[in-house]
Amino acid sequence: MGYFWTIVVLVAVLALAWRFLGSYLAAVYEGRVTYLRFVERPLYRLLAVDPEAEQSWTRYAGALLVFSAVALLLSYLLIRIQGSLPFNPQHLGAVPPALSWNTAVSFVTNTNWQNYAGESTMSYFSQMAVLEVQQFVSAAVGIAVAVALIRGFARRGSSTIGNFWLDLVRGVLYVLVPIAFLAGVVFVGQGAVQTLGGPAVVHNALDGATQTIARGPAGFMEAIKQLGTNGGGFFNANGAHPFENPTGLTNLLSIALLLCIPVALTYTFGKLAGSVRQGVAVLAAMTIIFGAWLGVASFAESQPNPAVTATHAVAQPQGNMVGKEARFGPLSSSLYNVASTQTSTGSIDSANDSYTPMGGFALLTGMMLGEVTPGGVGSGLYTILLFAIITVFIGGLMIGRTPEYLGKKIQAREVKLAAFAVLVMPLVVLVLTAVATSVHAGRAGPLNAGPHGFSEILYAFTSQANNNGSAFAGLSGNTAFYNVTGGLAMLFGRFAIIVPTLALAGTLAAKEAVPAGLGTFRTDTPLFTGLLIGIIIIVGGLTFFPAVALGPIVEQLSHGRLF
């Protein structure tokens, strides 16, 4: 019953976010929100950016890439020299080069894959001024790309798609900082730590034990970690750690935060690019897939853990409690981890690696659909719009007519760009998984034996190429092999999709509108939603079924066997 009400409240909160945050986002990116003009104006003067001037798609993409490269380099340098920087009460030394590369790429690409344990690797300065900064900035970059694509649909015969600098700054100042700050207050009020005081040593007089407890400025990082669909936690245990996610209330707040912007952007999209109904059609596809996967995971995790069952030592009335916190239980944990894997967040409140075979299947395949249900902030929307273009193209093939989407003719160039962008992720995942399983350095990674070991490798590259960042964490990822290949997967998974998406925005913006005729395939109907779902699942399913069959599926079917 508690789970039912949790979902009811979540849906209600998201409905409000969809309507009101959605229209707020539209206002912010149209430049109608101005209460921080006094910060913006001097900054633009300093940058020599004319707030009225716009950029072509090539200049927009160029600015985005150069900015991301600078962010990558700066992040790398700062964690390499953290030993000589302030806010380092544990006197932690430099992060090694390969790990620094992986970590810097990870946070700049909004992935937040972590081959390190935060509390024993990163100084407070690195956590705040490097990782937390990228949690704001990479999220704003994602939203900026989505907004640029929306403008591509909304504009007629335009040579520009907006101004990257304005979109970036406004996203951070007007959207991410205020919401994260309010949420941060709630996290800390509930028990998340927020201190610069270093670890605490406590002595328990009752039974004579002494314990050193890692602390740090974690509560406010938790807020942007969730809101920006980043997922990189202050502590190794991420959202399972009581100092990051102390109560049932913060658990639900975490889930609402990571879903709110991706959901709201479908309203922004509809509002700016035609009609709200267009956004609803897309949101419906997201919601139906999300709901189905949530159902699978919740059911699977309320079943007993096979290895625990094999001991015949204990009943498992709640379901699989391995790797789960007592305060959350299997159901709320499933909701958190499904929401996090399907939004490219990658935070966890329970150990993915110890989910039942079908529970793990739901987490893994949720990412394989391309992070579109509803996906990361911005990236979820722009990726599902790529699928929408492929959907109208296939619809057009069926009736032998040039397809249209939102009044724009979809021609060869648009279809090529969309198809290329959609195929980047599967290519990266499958090639790197194949490489990892064929070389010794790759096979040395998994903790678990049997099919689960293969799942750990497949999960790692799926997560990184989708910029998710969650892990089947038994994998020992902090090796030269996994740090370097994972870094490449994250870079390609991010920018090899962003650039064609911006190119698409550019060509769409330049087109004139075609009036809808009798033969136009309507894209605001349940039929379109159904086709879109079909395309997403067929593309993901055809690409990944053989690989998934070797991992979670064979594990599920191995009744009575342990490895």
Partner 1 sequence: MLVHLRRSIVVAVFFLVVCGLAYPLAGTGLAQLAFHHQANGSLTADGSTLIGQQWSGPQWFQGRPSATVSPSGKPNPYDAMASGASNLGPRSKVLEQHVAARAAALRKEGITPTNELVTSSGSGLDPDISPRSAYAQVDAVARARHLPRSVVAHLVATQVHQPELGFLGEPVVNVLELNLALSKLS
- Among positions 365-424, residues that touch partner 1 (CB under 8 A) are none
Quote the least distance from Cβ 306 to partner 1, whole Å.
5
Residue of 367, 357, 340 whose CA lies nearest to 536: 367
Query: Could you say whether residue 267 binds partner 1 (CB under 8 A)?
Result: no
Tell me the CA distances in angstroms from 101 to 66, 95, 225, 443, one per residue in order. 17, 10, 20, 22
Query: Could you say whether residue 320 binds partner 1 (CB under 8 A)?
Result: yes
Query: Could you say whether residue 215 binds partner 1 (CB under 8 A)?
Result: yes
Beta bridge partners of 405: 408
Q: Which of 15, 398, 447, 549 contacts partner 1 by CB under 8 A?
A: 447
**Whether residue 374 has a cis bond before it, omega within 30° of 0:** yes
Beta bridge partners of 200: 213
Q: Which is nearer to partner 1, 29 or 243 (CB)?
A: 243
Residue of 215, 404, 287 whose CA lies nearest to 7: 287
Query: Could you say whether residue 120 binds partner 1 (CB under 8 A)?
Result: yes
Q: Which is nearer to partner 1, 185 or 427 (CB)?
A: 185
Q: Which is nearer to partner 1, 181 or 545 (CB)?
A: 181
**Rounded distance, CA 339 to CA 344, Å?**
9
Query: What amino acid is encoded at 185 in this protein?
Result: V
Interacting positions 169-198 with partner 1 (CB under 8 A): 169, 172-173, 177, 180-181, 184-185, 188-197
Q: In this chain, which stretch among 98-106, 117-125, 276-284, 495-503 interacts with partner 1, using CB under 8 A?
A: 117-125
CA–chain centroid gap for 154, Å, is 26
Q: In this chain, which stretch among 320-328, 495-503, 518-526, 529-537 interacts with partner 1, using CB under 8 A?
A: 320-328
Query: Could you say whether residue 557 binds partner 1 (CB under 8 A)?
Result: no
Quote the least distance from Cβ 30 to partner 1, whole Å.
21
Q: Which is nearer to partner 1, 70 or 516 (CB)?
A: 70
Q: By CB under 8 A, how many residues form the interface with partner 1? A: 130
Upper half-sphere CA count for residue 393 (Cβ side, 13 Å): 17
Q: Which is nearer to partner 1, 188 or 430 (CB)?
A: 188
Quote the least distance from Cβ 562 to partner 1, whole Å.
5
CA dihedral 284, 290, 295, 300 (to 10 degrees): 170
Task: Extract the tokens encoding 163.
Answer: 């101004």
Query: Could you say whether residue 492 binds partner 1 (CB under 8 A)?
Result: no
Question: What is the residue-wise DSSP string for 298-358?
Answer: HHHHTSPPHHHHTTT----SS---TTB-TTTHHHHHHHHHHHHHTTT----SB-GGGS-HH
Interacting positions 325-354 with partner 1 (CB under 8 A): 325-329, 332-333, 348-351, 353-354
Q: Which of 22, 171, 270, 360 contacts partner 1 by CB under 8 A?
A: 360
CA triple 184-31-275, angle to 5 deg: 95
Q: Which of 12, 15, 66, 397 contacts partner 1 by CB under 8 A?
A: 66
Q: Which of 18, 116, 136, 290 contacts partner 1 by CB under 8 A?
A: 136
Burial 513-546 (b: 16+ CB within 10 A, else e): beeeeeeebebbeeebbebbbebbeebbeebbee
Quote the least distance from Cβ 108 to partner 1, whole Å.
11
Q: In this chain, which stretch among 301-309, 422-430, 500-508, 518-526 interacts with partner 1, using CB under 8 A?
A: 301-309
Quote the least distance from Cβ 528 to partner 1, whole Å.
36
Query: Could you say whether residue 251 binds partner 1 (CB under 8 A)?
Result: yes
Q: Which of 289, 294, 424, 473 contacts partner 1 by CB under 8 A?
A: 473
Q: Is 161 helix (H, G, I), strand (E, B) or coil?
A: coil
Q: Which is nearer to partner 1, 15 or 66 (CB)?
A: 66
**Rounded distance, CA 105 to CA 113, Å?**
9
The maximal CA–CA distance of the chain, rounded, in angstroms, is 81
Interacting positions 231-250 with partner 1 (CB under 8 A): 235-237, 240-243, 246-249
* Cβ neighbours for 352, distance < 8 A, ≥ 6 positions apart: 323, 337, 341, 360, 363, 459, 470, 471, 472, 473
Q: Which of 11, 12, 15, 69 contacts partner 1 by CB under 8 A?
A: 69
